[in-house]
Amino acid sequence: MIIYLLSFILFCLGIYCILRKRNIIKIIVGIIITEYAVNLFFILSAYRIEGRAPIYSAEAEILNMVDPLPHALVLTSIVIGLATTALLVAIAMRIYEKYGTFDITQIRELKG
Amino acid sequence: MMGLYILLIFMIVGAIIAIEVKDMLSSVIAVGAVGLGLSIVFLILKAPDVAITQLVVEILCLIILIRATLRKDLPFSTTGRWVFNTFITSVFMIVFFLVAVKCFKDLPEFGFPLMRVARTYIEHGKALTGSTNLVTSVILDFRAYDTLGEATILFTAVIAVLTIVRKIGRKKVDMPDEESDE
C-alpha cells in the first residue's frame, strides 16, 4: 500500500509538471516521468513475496514465479514510450526553429 | 525490501529536481537519474527483461533530449496568473490523490498478486511454446498481436519523425541536423 502510494506520488509529480510548466521541454520531462510511474506501478503489482524471475531453469524447480503478464505489457509500453518521446522532441525542435522559443505562451500564431 | 523504498524515494527526489531546476540540461540529466533508478528497481522486483529494455531506452531517450536542449536559449517567464494557476493545479492534485488512496485500498496487497491469467501461462507456457523464458513466450506467442501493434506504432512514429525533420519541401533551409532513430 505504501509502496503503491510512493509510485503514485511520482505520477502526481509528472502530472503537475505537465499542467503547470510553460517550457515545452519541461512538459516532455513531465510526460516521461508519468510514463515511468505507470510502468513502475505495473511491475509493482506483479511482484510476489520471495518470488523468482519467470525463467525456467534446468537444474532447479522454481515454484514461486512473479507474474509474467505485466512484464510483457510493460516491455511493450517502454518501447512505445521511446517512440512517442522521439516524436515529441522532433515537434518541439520544429517549434523552436519556427518561433525561436520553447515557451508555450509566446507561441501565438495559431491563437484566436 | 528496504532498498526498494530507498530507491523509490531517490526517484521522487530526482523527479522533483528535474521539475523544479531552471537549467534545462540539468533537468534532463535528473530525468536520466530517475530512469536509471527505475531500471535498478525493476531488477530488484525480479523483472530482468524489463530492466535491460529500460536501460537501453533510457540512454537513447537521454541522447535525444540532450540533442534537443543543447545550445538553446531558454527564457523563463513567470508572468501571468501565477497564483491562480498554482491554486487550481494543487486542488486538482489533492482531489486526485485522495481518490487514488481510496482506490488503492481495493487492490490486492503488495506481494500477493492475483495471477489468474498468469497461472495458465506458468503451468502450460513451457509445453505450449517451448520457451523457458515466460515473458518471451507471452510477448511472442500468447500475445503476439500486441507486439504487432507495437511494431506498427513504432514505425508510424519513425515515419512521423522523418516527416517532421526532413528538409526537402521547406521554404527556408537553415536548420541543424536531427535525430531520426526509433
Burial of B48: CB neighbours in 10 Å, binned 0-12, 13-18, 19+: middle
Cell numbers 536548420 correspond to B175
Q: With a CB-CB cutoff of 8 Å, which residues 34-63 of chain B face chain A?
A: 34-35, 38, 41-42, 45-50, 53-54, 57, 60-61
Residue B8's pLDDT is what?
A: 92
Residue B182's pLDDT is what?
A: 45
Q: With a CB-CB cutoff of 8 Å, which residues 105-164 of chain B face chain A?
A: 105, 107-113, 115, 117-118, 121-122, 125-126, 132-135, 137-139, 143, 146-147, 150, 153-154, 157-158, 160-161, 164
Q: What is the DSSP letter of B9?
A: H
A50-93 per-position pLDDT tens digit:
888 888 887 777 778 888 889 999 999 999 999 999 999 999 88
Per-residue pLDDT of chain B (182 residues; tens, 9 = 90+): 788 899 999 999 999 999 888 888 889 999 999 999 999 999 998 888 999 999 999 999 999 888 877 766 665 555 667 788 888 888 998 998 899 888 888 888 888 888 888 888 888 888 888 888 888 888 888 889 989 999 999 999 999 999 988 877 666 545 555 555 54
Determine, for residues B50 and A80 on separate chains, whether the beta-carbon distance falls below 8 Å. Answer: no
Cell numbers 522454481 correspond to A62
Determine, for residues A79 and B57 on separate chains, whether the beta-carbon distance falls below 8 Å. Answer: yes
Determine, for residues B31 and A33 on separate chains, whether the beta-carbon distance falls below 8 Å. Answer: yes
pLDDT band at A111 (very low <50, low <70, confident <90, very high): low
CA distance B141 to B126: 11
**Residue B169 three-state SS:** coil
CATH topology for A2-51+64-99 is Helix Hairpins (1.10.287)
Of B12, B89, B97, the CB nearest to A10: B12
Residue A19, all three cell numbers: 499542467
Best CA proximity match to A31, nearest among A71, A74, A80: A80
Best CA proximity match to B9, nearest among A13, A48, A88: A13
Q: Which residues contact B1 (CB under 8 A, 6 or more apart)?
A: none
Q: Domain residue spans in chain B?
A: 1-75, 112-182
One-letter amino acid at B170 equals: R
Give the total residue count for chain A.
112
Determine, for residues B104 and A8 on separate chains, whether the beta-carbon distance falls below 8 Å. Answer: yes
**Residue A51 three-state SS:** coil
Residue A68, all three cell numbers: 509474467
Element (H, E) at A37: helix A24-46
Q: What is the DSSP letter of A101?
A: -
CA distance A20 to A27: 9
Q: Which residues contact B143 (CB under 8 A, 6 or more apart)?
A: A72
Which chain B residues are Cβ-neighbours of A40 within 8 angstroms?
38, 41
Q: Domain residue spans in chain A?
A: 2-51+64-99
CA distance A82 to B154: 9
